[in-house]
């Protein structure tokens, strides 16, 4: 399945509030250890190996993933809202391609 | 004899180091109607939580894919699903709870997958989708999602009656090297353990269901194939008349249970 | 619904199958014990690669995992570290390992003071019953660790 990300960020937050961010992306997270049931050959590894969350261009959270991360990876984490701005979420695949999504937050 | 099974199952469970799985509650609310219990009630709290959180439920990725496809023009007729059916929230509201139905114009029982493909080939002049392809799973999940929470109520009389009888006969027919019928597990032993797993009633109200084992959603017919293989019987094809009839019977068994598409199960 | 009459046969067959499962499980347990030393070496190598070999203290980490996972393909995990999360004193990273997976590395999460709290939740694969180990790296360079045993059910129809 083509990788398509989803993120959930509250639209607004009070200054100093700690918000929860959830992300989900469709990906097989092929471990490289499975064999093709028909040919018996190893299916090459292909996973998303990095997930980064930037806020106003600055990295605020990141994660390195190994083949032990489940298919269709989910990641929830937190962020302390101090100013309004834009999140950018970037997932990096083993093949070098990236998938990204943006979301804005208004702090009042 | 049930006592014997339970006792042995307990020994095996202890040997493998897997003790009793903790259930969330005994009052299953909307997930139980009379003696009919959704597979949700046999799942662990963690699996239930994965289904409950609409964002965390990984099958929602497929529902979203289906929603996109709903609005996308495909085929020589230059139409999308939306061109004829408009707002799915209104026009598809009862599909998930009432299919499969007897379709008079083709003279046979039809499930959502078949109906989608008939629309695609006849009306949209587009290519049919394969069973359990990403497109098909997405569209079926999106369509059935519109019936979320609706009580299951398939029609089994009139022209659907012979299909229902055929499905019912299938359900109690022994098959395969293990010589077992659907009912052996899902009627006689629902709630008991088969090695380290709890047998459910085998209800169909959450399909397409995201199975942790599959690491993606799959159709009810794919699940039938899995069950048939596990009793070492030759499975029928997805979309076969045998499985269509069985689908009708299984959906009737779950009458009154809410549509849960897309459910999350082991 | 028609009644199945031949219930005795079903029970005997099930009983035999279940008994067989028990023996296999017992044999597996023996094999696993023999492999434990190799697993420990893989785990310590992975930890050393991630954080070096400084001393680690137990505590400050809350590792939330099911006691029994229904399926090893998708085990929900949540890790939280007690910290004020200020510039001067925060959690830089948490590394997660599974001691009996084919490779011990699972994931690393990197926090910043902007995280507010050092907490992350995701889903992991566990190849069988084993310990999950978390190692937290603090901004002052100190290391904390925690582990939790997760039993992974196998067999039946979900295996």
**pLDDT number for residue C7:** 40
Region A84-106: what's the mean pLDDT? 96
Within-domain flag for C159:
no
Which among C7, C15, C24, C68 is the top mutation candidate for probing chain B, defined by the most B β-carbons within 10 Å of its own β-carbon? C68
**How many domains is chain C partitioned into structurally?**
2
The CATH number of the domain covering residues in B60-145: 1.10.760.10
**Do C31 and C42 have their domain in common?**
no
| Within this chain, domains B2-55+173-265 and B60-145 share the same CATH topology | yes
Residue B68's pLDDT is what?
95
Q: Do B197 and C76 count as a contact with CB atoms less than 8 A apart?
A: no
Residue B12: what pLDDT?
39
- Does residue C43 lie within any of the structural domains? yes
DSSP bridge pairs for C119: C80
Task: Give the architecture (CATH level 2) of B2-55+173-265.
Answer: Orthogonal Bundle (1.10)
- Residue B151's CB is within 10 A of a number of other CB atoms, namely 15
Provide the angle, in degrees to the nearest 10, between the axes of the packed helices C7-51 and B2-15: 20
pLDDT value at C159 more than 70: no
Output the pTM of the full model: 0.86
CB contact under 8 A, A24 and B65: no
% of chain B at pLDDT higher than 70:
90
For residue A82, give Cα distances in angstroms to A9, A15, A56, A107, C84: 15, 5, 12, 7, 16
pLDDT of the residue at B8:
40
In a domain, C158, yes or no: no
Residues C45 and C19 in one domain: no
Q: Which of A10, A26, A43, A68 to mutate to test the interface with B (most CBs of B within 10 A)?
A: A26
Range of the domain at C9: 1-36
What element of type H or E holds A101? strand A98-107
The CATH code belonging to domain A3-107 is 2.60.40.10
**C-alpha closest to that of A77 among B247, B258, B183, C91:** C91
**B84 annotated active-site:** no
Confirm whether C49 is domain-assigned: yes
Could you tell me if C29 and C59 lie in one domain? no
User: Same structural domain for residues C44 and C27?
Assistant: no
Residue C157 lies in a domain: no
CB B77 within 8 A of CB B85: no
- The per-residue pLDDT for range B130-152, each reduced to its tens digit, is 999 999 999 999 999 999 999 99
C76 and C2 co-located in one domain: no
Nearest to C47 by CA among C138, C123, C144, C150: C144
Q: Is residue C94 part of a domain?
A: yes
CB A85 within 8 A of CB A55: yes
Dump pLDDT digits (tens) for A52-61.
999 999 999 9
Which band of pLDDT confidence, cut at 50, 70 and 90, is reported for residue B53? very high
Is the pLDDT assigned to residue B70 strictly greater than 80? Answer: yes
**What does the alpha-carbon distance between residue B253 and residue A10 come to, in Å, rounded to a whole number?**
41
pLDDT digits (tens, 9 = 90+) for A37-47: 889 999 999 99
Query: Alpha-carbon distance B154 to B161, whole Å?
Result: 11
> What is d(CA C77, CA C68) in angstroms, rounded to the nearest whole number?
12
Model confidence pLDDT, tens digit, residues B87-129: 999 999 999 999 999 999 999 999 999 999 999 999 999 999 9
User: Number of residue pairs across B and C with CB atoms under 8 Å?
Assistant: 127
Quick one: C66 and C136 in the same domain?
yes
Of C19, C15, C22, C37, the closest CA to residue C154 belongs to: C22
CA distance C98 to C46: 10
């Amino acid at each position: 399945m083509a990788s398509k990300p989803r993120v959930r960020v509250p639209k607004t937050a009070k200054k100093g509030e700690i918000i929860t961010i959830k992300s989900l992306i469709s990906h097989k997270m092929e471990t490289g250890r499975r064999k093709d049931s028909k040919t018996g050959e190893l299916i090459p590894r292909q996973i998303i190996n990095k997930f980064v969350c930037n806020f106003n261009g600055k990295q605020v959270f990141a994660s390195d993933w190994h083949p032990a991360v489940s298919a269709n990876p989910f990641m929830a984490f937190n962020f302390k809202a101090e100013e309004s701005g834009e999140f950018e979420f970037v997932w990096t695949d083993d093949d070098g391609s990236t998938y990204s999504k943006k979301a804005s937050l208004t702090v009042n | 004899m049930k006592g014997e099974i339970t006792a042995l199952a307990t020994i095996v469970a202890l040997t493998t180091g897997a003790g009793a799985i903790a259930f969330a509650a005994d009052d299953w609310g909307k997930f139980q109607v009379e003696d009919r219990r959704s597979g949700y009630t046999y799942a662990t709290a963690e699996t239930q939580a994965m289904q409950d959180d609409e964002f965390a439920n990984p099958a929602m990725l497929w529902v979203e894919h289906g929603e996109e496809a709903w609005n996308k023009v495909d085929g020589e007729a230059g139409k999308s699903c939306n061109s004829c059916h408009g707002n799915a929230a209104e026009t598809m509201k009862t599909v998930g709870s009432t299919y499969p139905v007897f379709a008079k114009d083709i003279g046979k029982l039809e499930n959502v997958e078949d109906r989608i493909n008939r629309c695609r080939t006849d009306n949209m002049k587009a290519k049919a989708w394969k069973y359990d392809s990403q497109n098909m799973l997405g569209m079926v999940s999106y369509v059935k999602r519109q019936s979320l929470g609706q009580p299951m109520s398939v029609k089994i009389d009139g022209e659907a009656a012979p299909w229902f009888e055929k499905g019912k006969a299938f359900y109690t027919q022994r098959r395969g090297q293990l010589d077992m019928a659907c009912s052996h597990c899902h009627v006689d032993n629902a709630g008991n353990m088969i090695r380290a797993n709890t047998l459910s009633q085998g209800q169909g109200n959450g399909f397409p269901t995201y199975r942790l084992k599959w690491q993606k959603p799959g159709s009810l017919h794919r699940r039938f194939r899995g069950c048939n293989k596990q009793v070492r019987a030759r499975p029928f094809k997805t979309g076969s008349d045998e499985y269509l009839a069985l689908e009708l019977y299984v959906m009737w068994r779950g009458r009154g249970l809410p549509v849960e598409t897309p459910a999350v199960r082991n | 619904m028609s009644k199945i009459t031949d219930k005795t046969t079903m029970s005997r067959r099930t009983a035999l199958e279940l008994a067989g499962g028990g023996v296999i499980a017992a044999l597996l347990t023996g094999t696993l014990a023999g492999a434990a030393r190799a697993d420990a070496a893989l785990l310590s190598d992975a930890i050393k690669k991630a954080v070096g070999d400084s001393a680690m203290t137990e505590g400050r980490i809350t590792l939330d995992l099911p006691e029994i996972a229904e399926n090893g393909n998708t085990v929900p995990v949540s890790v939280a570290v007690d910290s004020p999360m200020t510039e001067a004193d925060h959690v830089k990273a948490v590394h997660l390992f599974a001691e009996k997976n084919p490779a011990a590395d699972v994931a690393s999460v990197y926090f910043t003071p902007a995280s507010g709290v050092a907490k992350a939740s995701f889903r992991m694969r566990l190849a069988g019953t084993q310990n999950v180990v978390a190692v937290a790296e603090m901004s002052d360079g100190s290391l904390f660790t925690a582990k939790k045993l997760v039993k992974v059910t196998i067999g039946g129809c979900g295996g």
